[in-house]
C-alpha cells in the first residue's frame, strides 16, 4: 500500500491519459470505418465521395496471368547477349527449387527500341502500343513475394497470398460504390480457363457480398440464365420476383444481421435490373466497324482480347467501377520467342486501341489502366534433363508493370532493375505499396479504408504501406 501521493497521482494520470488516448483513437477509427462519408443512405453500392480529391474513377486492370517477362517486353537487358547460354549454379533458401541448381542465361529473342517522344523501351513485337507510349508510365521497381502462381495471383489481386480476402476491385467498390446501379460494380472478364486460384481472385472476402466480382463468360451467353426462359414474360417475372423478395424480407426480419441474406435479396434485384441493361452493354456488335478494327476485333490473333478490351471500355462508360481483363498463358518456361511473341501480338493492338479510344472519348483521365502479371521472370533458365530451353523462370524480385491514365505520370519510366533484370534496384517497393498507391489514385486512404473482421480492422495492404509518389503525376 503506497501512501505516496505523487505516485498515486502519476498512475492515475497515466491511466486517465491512456484511456483518453484510446477514446480518441477509437473515435477516429469509427469515423474512418464509415468509408463513404455522408453520401451513403441507400444501398451499399451507392456512389460515395472519395476521401481525397482524385483523378481516377474507374479501373481497367489488365492481368497477364502466368507472369510476363519484363526483360522481353518493357525492360530490355542487352547485357544478356554477352552471357547468353553461360552456365552457372545457384543455391540458396531464397530461391525456389525451380530457380536453383544448374542454370544458364538466356538473352531475349526480341530486339528492343525506344518509342514515343519520351523514348521508352518496347520490344519489337509491340507494334501498335508504340503509338501510345507517351501515355504510359512504366514502373520497374515492384517486387512480389511468392514464386508460385496461385499464391502470387492472390497476392496481387487481394493483397494476401493465402486468398480468401477481398480483391482490389472489391475494396474500391466498397470505398466508392458504383456509378450505375443496374450493373455490378466489379466485373471480371476471364479466359475460358479461370486463372490459377480460381474465383478467389475476385472474391469479396470478408466484405459484404455486394462487392464480389461478377465474371462475364468469354464464350456463349456472358451471364448464364440472365434471360428469362421462353414463355416467361417480363410481367410474370416481376410478379414472382416480388413474391420471392417478400418472403426473403420476412425471413430477413427474423435474421436482421444476416449479411448474405441481404446480399442475396440485393442480387435478385440487381439481376433483374441487369436484364434490362446488360444485353445492351455487352453487345459489342453495335459498335461501328472502325472502332472494332481499332481493337483488332475480327482479326484472328487479336479478336479474343480485343473483344474484352472493347467490352471493358463499354462497361466503364456505363459506370462500372472496376473491370479486370485476363490474358492467360504468359508462363513461358520455354519457347519464349513463340509463346511471348504470340501473346504480345494478341494484346498489342487491343490495348493500344483501348488507350486511343479512351483518350479520344475523354475517358482516359479518369480511367486508370494497369498492366501487370503476378511476378516477373528470371534472366536465366534451369537445365532440365540436360537440355537447353529458351525460357525463363518465375522472379518475384523484379516485376515490370505499367499504368496509363487516372492521374499517373505519362511517358515516364520509374525505377530500374539491375543489369540483367534479376532484381529491382531503384524505387523498389513491395506489392502492398502498389496497392496503397492504386487506392490513393482513387482518392482512398488504405489506412482508413478498413473493415472490421476477425477482431481487427483489416485493410488491403494488410498492415499499411507507402504511396509510390514517383508514379503519380
Partner 1 sequence: MMDFLGAFHPLILHIPIGALLAAFLLELIHHFRKSHALDQAIKILLGFTAVTAIIAALFGYFLSQKGGYQGVTLQIHQWSGIGVALLSTLFFLLKSRLSIQGVWIAWGINLLVLTVAGHFGGSLTHGEDFLIRDAPGFIKTVFSSGDEVITNIDPDSAVVFTDIIQPIVKEKCLSCHNDSKKQGSLDLRNESTWRKGGKNGDLFDPENIEQSLLLHRIFLPLDHEEHMPPEGQQQLIPTEVAMIEWWLENGMPFDKKVGDLHSSGRIAQILQSKFQPFDPFEVITADPIDESVLDEFRSNGITALRISQKSPLLEVRLAGVETIGKDKIDLMKKAKEQIVRIDFHGSGITDAELREIASFPNLVQLSLHQTNITNEGIESLRGLKYLQHLNVHSTRVSDESLNDLIALDQLKSLYVWNTHFSSEAIEQLKSARPGLDLGEVN
In the complex, least distance from residue 351 CB atom to partner 1, rounded to whole angstroms: 12
List the beta bridge partners of residue 61. 324, 370
- Draw the binding track, 409-448, toward partner 1 (x: CB under 8 A; -: no contact): ----------------------------------x-----
* Residue 458 grid cell: 483489416
In the complex, least distance from residue 384 CB atom to partner 1, rounded to whole angstroms: 44
Nearer to partner 1, 343 or 354 (CB): 354
Using rule CB under 8 A, residue 361 touches partner 1: yes
d(CA 440, CA 468): 10
What residues have CB less than 8 Å from 155, skipping those under 6 apart? 144, 145, 146, 161, 374, 431
* Residue position matching grid coordinates 450505375: 180
* Closest-CA residue to 333 (of 301, 378, 300, 302): 378
User: For partner 1, which stretch binds (CB under 8 A), given 35-43, 92-100, 146-154, 221-229?
Assistant: 35-43
Using rule CB under 8 A, residue 43 touches partner 1: no
Using rule CB under 8 A, residue 85 touches partner 1: no
In the complex, least distance from residue 28 CB atom to partner 1, rounded to whole angstroms: 8
Other beta carbons less than 10 A from residue 464's beta carbon = 12
What residues have CB less than 8 Å from 150, skipping those under 6 apart? 163, 196, 197
d(CA 449, CA 172): 9
Pairing status of strand 136-143 against strand 412-414 = parallel
Single out the residue of 29, 52, 193, 244 in contact with partner 1 (rule: CB under 8 A). 52
Q: In three state form, how does the secondary structure of 140-182 look?
A: EEEECCCCCHHHHHHHHHHCCCCCCCCCHHHHHHHHHCCCCCC
Using rule CB under 8 A, residue 49 touches partner 1: yes
Using rule CB under 8 A, residue 218 touches partner 1: no
**CB 333, CB 389: distance < 8 Å:** yes
Using rule CB under 8 A, residue 113 touches partner 1: no
Single out the residue of 319, 328, 329, 411 in contact with partner 1 (rule: CB under 8 A). 319
In the complex, least distance from residue 407 CB atom to partner 1, rounded to whole angstroms: 13
In the complex, least distance from residue 9 CB atom to partner 1, rounded to whole angstroms: 6
Single out the residue of 1, 2, 3, 6 in contact with partner 1 (rule: CB under 8 A). 6
Single out the residue of 42, 84, 246, 456 in contact with partner 1 (rule: CB under 8 A). 42
C-alpha 111: how far from its chain's center? 29
Nearer to partner 1, 6 or 257 (CB): 6
Using rule CB under 8 A, residue 169 touches partner 1: no
Size of the site for partner 1 (CB under 8 A): 38
Where on the phi/psi map is residue 333: left (φ > 0), alpha (ψ -120 to 50), or beta? alpha
Query: Residues interacting with partner 1, by CB under 8 A?
Result: 6, 9-10, 13, 17, 24, 28, 31, 37-39, 41-42, 47-54, 116-117, 131-132, 134-135, 179, 318-319, 355-356, 359-362, 365, 443
Amino acid at each position: 500500500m503506497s501512501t505516496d501521493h505523487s505516485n498515486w497521482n502519476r498512475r492515475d494520470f497515466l491511466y486517465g491519459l491512456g484511456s483518453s488516448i484510446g477514446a480518441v483513437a477509437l473515435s477516429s477509427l469509427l469515423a474512418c470505418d464509415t468509408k463513404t462519408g455522408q453520401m451513403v443512405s441507400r444501398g451499399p453500392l451507392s456512389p460515395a465521395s472519395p476521401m481525397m480529391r482524385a483523378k481516377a474513377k474507374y479501373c481497367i486492370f489488365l492481368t497477364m496471368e502466368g507472369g510476363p517477362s519484363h526483360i522481353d517486353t518493357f525492360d530490355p537487358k542487352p547485357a544478356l547477349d554477352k552471357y547468353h547460354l553461360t552456365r552457372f549454379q545457384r543455391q540458396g533458401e531464397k530461391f525456389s527449387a525451380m530457380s536453383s541448381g544448374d542454370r544458364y542465361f538466356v538473352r531475349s529473342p526480341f530486339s528492343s527500341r525506344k518509342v514515343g517522344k519520351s523514348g521508352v523501351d518496347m520490344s519489337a513485337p509491340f507494334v501498335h502500343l508504340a503509338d501510345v507510349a507517351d501515355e504510359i508510365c512504366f514502373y520497374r521497381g515492384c517486387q512480389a513475394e511468392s514464386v508460385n502462381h496461385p499464391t502470387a495471383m492472390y497476392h496481387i489481386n487481394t493483397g494476401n497470398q493465402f486468398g480468401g480476402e477481398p480483391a482490389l476491385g472489391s475494396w474500391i467498390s466498397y470505398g466508392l460504390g458504383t456509378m450505375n446501379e443496374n450493373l455490378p460494380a466489379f466485373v471480371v472478364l476471364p479466359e475460358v480457363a479461370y486463372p490459377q486460384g480460381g474465383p478467389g481472385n475476385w472474391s469479396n472476402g470478408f466484405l459484404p457480398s455486394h462487392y464480389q466480382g461478377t465474371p462475364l463468360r468469354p464464350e456463349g451467353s456472358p451471364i448464364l440464365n440472365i434471360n428469362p426462359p421462353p414463355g416467361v414474360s417480363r410481367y410474370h417475372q416481376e410478379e414472382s420476383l416480388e413474391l420471392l423478395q417478400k418472403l426473403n424480407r420476412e425471413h430477413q426480419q427474423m435474421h436482421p444481421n444476416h449479411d448474405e441474406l441481404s446480399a442475396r435479396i440485393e442480387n435478385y434485384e440487381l439481376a433483374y435490373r441487369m436484364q434490362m441493361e446488360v444485353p445492351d452493354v455487352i453487345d459489342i456488335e453495335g459498335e461501328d466497324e472502325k472502332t472494332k478494327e481499332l481493337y483488332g476485333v475480327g482479326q484472328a490473333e487479336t479478336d479474343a482480347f480485343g473483344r474484352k478490351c472493347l467490352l471493358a471500355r463499354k462497361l466503364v462508360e456505363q459506370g462500372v467501377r472496376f473491370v479486370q481483363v485476363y490474358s492467360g498463358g504468359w508462363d513461358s518456361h520455354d519457347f519464349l520467342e513463340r509463346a511471348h511473341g504470340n501473346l504480345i501480338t494478341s494484346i498489342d493492338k487491343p490495348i493500344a486501341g483501348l488507350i486511343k479510344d479512351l483518350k479520344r472519348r475523354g475517358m482516359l483521365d479518369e480511367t486508370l489502366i494497369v498492366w501487370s502479371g503476378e511476378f516477373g521472370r528470371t534472366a536465366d533458365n534451369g537445365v532440365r534433363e540436360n537440355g537447353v530451353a529458351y525460357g525463363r523462370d518465375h522472379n518475384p524480385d523484379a516485376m515490370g508493370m505499367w499504368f496509363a491514365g487516372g492521374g499517373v505520370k505519362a511517358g515516364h519510366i520509374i525505377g530500374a532493375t539491375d543489369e540483367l533484370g534479376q532484381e529491382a534496384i531503384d524505387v523498389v517497393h513491395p506489392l502492398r505499396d502498389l496497392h496503397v498507391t492504386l487506392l490513393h489514385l482513387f482518392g482512398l486512404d488504405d489506412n482508413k479504408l478498413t473493415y472490421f473482421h476477425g477482431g481487427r480492422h483489416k485493410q488491403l495492404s494488410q498492415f499499411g504501406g507507402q504511396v509510390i509518389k514517383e508514379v503519380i503525376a
